[in-house]
Structure 1
């Protein structure tokens, strides 16, 4: 039994065959998913999908790339949606210094506001980080994000930052890159993160794991991520499935 903690089943890439993709995931042993909505377009379908499936949940937040587009009304909207019974986290949020659509100071402001909102509604947060690790850690500390904790989504950074994240009550989530031959960092992290703080994800339709790299990703492929982590740690696949699912259920406060 697996829990894909970060998937975009609300993406346009799944418009034609969403139900079939979800069925394939269930048939592969993926029992739970969190569908992430991160702007005005993707939040409503994330909740709609969660409402249709008993073991699929939603996260609602605002992506840093589009931080410049977020209004006060959008933040209030996210707050109102946080009380929905299938919404289990706020995010994804964070900083993205790779793309230049939103100035860094605006990204930081929007990031802080969402952390403050998550603390207000007492929900974990999902962190998007691209080329901004130092600033993200600084803001998480300054905003006392440890109060709610959350997920370092698709962690692809040095092992040296892992302990700081753990100390702030965050889980480390690994996805497709842990299977890439030319990606040593996720492999190192997979071996070092305490088993009770490890999560798995796909980020589908993006970042498909080997041997499907370059193709559309889908939640069934989280099995490939779990298998690779089990190999790297020298433990059984079943143990990885059991522990990462337990971790996700605990973080999202989902009762079974």
Structure 2
């Protein structure tokens, strides 16, 4: 991901930082569902439990971005909706990007998935230093259901709501649409270790590997790869599997 300097880059980071969410449908030819225990290594909504936190150190070309996240509250309100998890994630590079999410873990619909591996996102607040501040609200909530995809399955996920920008003032409808393919569960070796991770292809130009709901590697066509060098989850080193 390139170094952040402008408003358009901030909006890209907001989109990339948010978990992919399924409000639409899709199809595939005979998708193969992954065994629960194997796929369970890819998702862990324990990162949204009270007091949870993580810190991930990456290499991205010549840059060394640090991504840290923590739960601020488990009874927050956003846009009139109570009892939400308030979760803040900061990406520190040449500038800092701070994204606060208001969400609620849900039970999955598919029997093979892990409990509470689906997230409903009600909205975000994002800031790039003091240069910009953007609030996005999703009505209905924007649901992350990647865990329900089978191997080889592709769906188009759509979320709609409103987006308000303070600098300069601007507000209007907001739509996000992602085409997501679940490639499968892979063993990926990084400087931080060897991890069991779920591989997803997004919109034909981005590939992500998830381990315990954390992106440990992200490749973007025409850009630098973001590769995990080391990490901590709840104060202990992120362990390879």
Shorter-chain TM range is: 0.3 to 0.5
Q: Which has the higher strand share?
A: 2
Identify the structure with bigger relative contact order (alpha carbons < 8 Å, sequence gap 6+): 2
Q: Which has the higher helix share?
A: 1
Scaled by the length of structure 2, the TM-score of the pair is: 0.32
Scaled by the length of structure 1, the TM-score of the pair is: 0.31
